[in-house]
Amino acid sequence: MSKRIAGVLATAGVFVVMSAANALAQTYPPTPKPTTSVAGAGGGNDGPTAFTGGRIGFAVVAIVVLLALGIAASVVARRRSARVAG
């Protein structure tokens, strides 16, 4: 059982590093870019409100799907082992 857990943790670690490869490959320090703000909307300090957008990255969707599949597989395996033992 501990080998499976170690394998899952290693795979998750590799996935996180690979999905962050784009961020790691950028130059540092980043060049300043013009800020995007919503016209007429005030922030907490009477400044412009930042526009964050609504895009969800592929890595986030992949993590959620893989997490759901892992939980489902764990539940199915636990039920099968209980059925075989009982």
pLDDT in tens, 16-40: 877 777 666 666 666 777 766 656 5
Are the CB atoms for 36 and 50 separated by under 8 Å?
A: yes
**Cα(57)–Cα(71) distance, rounded to whole angstroms?**
22
Task: Provide the pLDDT for residue 70.
Answer: 92
Are the CB atoms for 19 and 59 separated by under 8 Å?
A: yes
Are the CB atoms for 26 and 11 separated by under 8 Å?
A: no
| pLDDT tens digits, one per residue of 51-67 | 566 667 788 888 899 99
- The alpha-helical segments, DSSP class H, found in the chain are 2-19, 21-24, 58-85
**Cα(26)–Cα(57) distance, rounded to whole angstroms?**
17
**11 to each of 8, 31, 60, how far by Cα in Å?**
5, 34, 16
